[in-house]
Structures are given as C-alpha cells and as structure tokens.
C-alpha cells in the first residue's frame, strides 16, 4: 500500500482513494468447435482480447507453439477488449465458438452458470499441467464450484493508493490503511462527501475496474 500527501490540482472537485490494479486476464476453454486439418494438424481457434503490444507478443507465442509441434495449429484472432464478451456470447449462442478465448476472470461465473465453458481439470491432468505452477490466490480466481475454468495469463500486482490528508480529515489514521474488503468499504464511506442536494463531491472509492476484488 502506498500513501500520498494531498497533491490535487486546484480545479479538482473530487478526490478519492484510488485502488490501482491490473486484473488477471485468463485463457479459457470453450465448447470445442468443429476441428479441421491444416497440413495434417488439428486447428484450434483462439480469440484474444489483447490489442497492440500485448497482442503482438501473444502472436509470437502462438507462432512459436505452432512451429514447435505437428499436432495442432492455433488460429489466432485479435478481438478488441470491448468486443470480446459480445462476440463470444453470439458465437456460443450460434453453436460456433472458439476453442480457446482470453478474457477477464471476473466473467467466469456468468459463463459457467450459462453452460458456456468446459472445465479444464481433465485436460490439465492429461497434460501434466499442475495448478501449483501458479500462486494460490491467482489460481483461485479461475476456479468456481470446485472446477478450474481458466488459466492465468497475465496476473499482476495489486496496490492501494490513498491520500493521507483526506484520511486525517475523515478522522482515519493514515498509518492504518484498510486491509480487508470490509474495511475498505467502511473507509470509503467515511471518505465520501455529498453536498446539500446529495450529489457526491468527494468519492471515497470507485470499484469500476473488472476484477478489482482479486
């Protein structure tokens, strides 16, 4: 956790506790598509939400995998992050989903509850993929109802930044930041201010990034 003294520009009317993180995108196994062959290889469709440099890096990984063996050929398709959910749902409803997809791990439960994913546990066991390769907290975010529905792709460090001056103004100890979600909720309420109309003029915390709870 990191704290800062108040350094807001004078024109800023809203100050808040900022929860900075990169959520853990995952690679998931969807219902298999109809496999065809390319030069004797089984084709696997892979849709990935990354664009830009992340997508370029993934293309290199896919290319290296395709060159490393003679059984499978992964067809990589870049799908912008804002489009991945819509396109996946449409393809699943139409009975022609990709074999593999990369999207945010906070979507796992919805997809599982709608019967859109296949558990990876049998495939992991057959291939020798051990969950111990990942940190338990990261791996847990890919599990639901006792099954593994995805594998972490780019897990990242999670950090909480807070304004010491605003803590003091709210009667909070800046040397004792919240350490649980319940404490974070309570601190956010204390730090939130409203004007006489009820409009928020200072927001304690805004959980608007997918996966912020990881």
118-176 pLDDT tens trace? 899 998 999 898 999 988 988 998 899 999 999 888 877 778 889 999 999 999 999 99
Query: Of 29-38, 58-67, 141-150, 182-191, which gets the smallest average pLDDT?
Result: 29-38
Average of per-residue pLDDT across 186-199: 96
CB 19 within 8 A of CB 160: yes
Enter the CATH code of domain 25-152: 3.40.190.10
Q: Hey, which residues does 19 pair with through a beta bridge?
A: 160
Q: How many helices (H) and strands (E) does the chain have?
A: 7, 13
pLDDT band at 7 (very low <50, low <70, confident <90, very high): very low
Q: Which two tokens stand for residue 3?
A: 């704290």
Query: What pLDDT, in 10s, does the model give residues 58-83?
Result: 999 999 999 999 999 999 999 987 78
Angle at 81 between CA 57 and CA 137, to 5 degrees: 75
Residues 6+ apart with CB under 8 A from 92: 30, 31, 116
Compute the 3-state secondary structure of the chain and give helix, strand, coil in percent, each to the nearest 5.
Answer: 30, 25, 40
For residue 72, the cross-strand partners are: 42
What percentage of residues in the chain have a pLDDT greater than 70? 79
Average pLDDT over residues 42-49: 92
What are the backbone angles phi and psi of residue 109, rounded to the nearest 5°? -60, -45
Give the separation between CA 68 and CA 56, rounded to whole angstroms.
19
Task: Say which range, 2-6, 65-69, 96-100, 186-190, has the weakest mean pLDDT.
Answer: 2-6
Q: Do the beta carbons of residue 62 and residue 131 sit within 8 Å?
A: no
């Amino acid at each position: 956790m990191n704290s800062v003294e108040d350094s807001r520009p004078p024109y800023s009317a809203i100050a808040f506790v900022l929860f900075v993180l990169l959520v853990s995108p995952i690679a998931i196994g969807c219902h298999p598509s109809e496999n065809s062959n390319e030069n004797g290889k089984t084709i696997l469709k892979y849709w990935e939400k990354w664009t830009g440099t992340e997508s370029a890096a993934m293309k290199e990984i896919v290319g290296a995998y395709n060159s490393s063996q003679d059984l499978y050929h992964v067809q990589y398709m870049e799908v912008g992050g804002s489009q991945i959910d819509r396109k996946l749902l449409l393809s699943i409803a139409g009975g022609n989903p990709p074999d593999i997809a990369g999207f945010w791990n906070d979507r796992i439960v919805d997809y599982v509850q709608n019967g859109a994913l296949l558990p990876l546990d049998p495939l992991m066991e057959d291939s020798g993929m051990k969950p111990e390769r990942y940190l338990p907290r990261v791996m847990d975010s890919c599990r639901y109802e006792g099954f593994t529905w995805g594998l972490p792709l780019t897990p990242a460090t999670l950090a909480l930044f807070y304004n010491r001056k605003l803590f003091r103004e709210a009667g909070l100890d800046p040397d004792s930041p919240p350490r649980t979600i319940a404490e974070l909720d309570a601190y956010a309420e204390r730090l939130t201010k409203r004007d006489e109309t009820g409009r928020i003029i200072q927001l304690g915390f805004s959980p608007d990034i997918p996966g912020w709870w990881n």
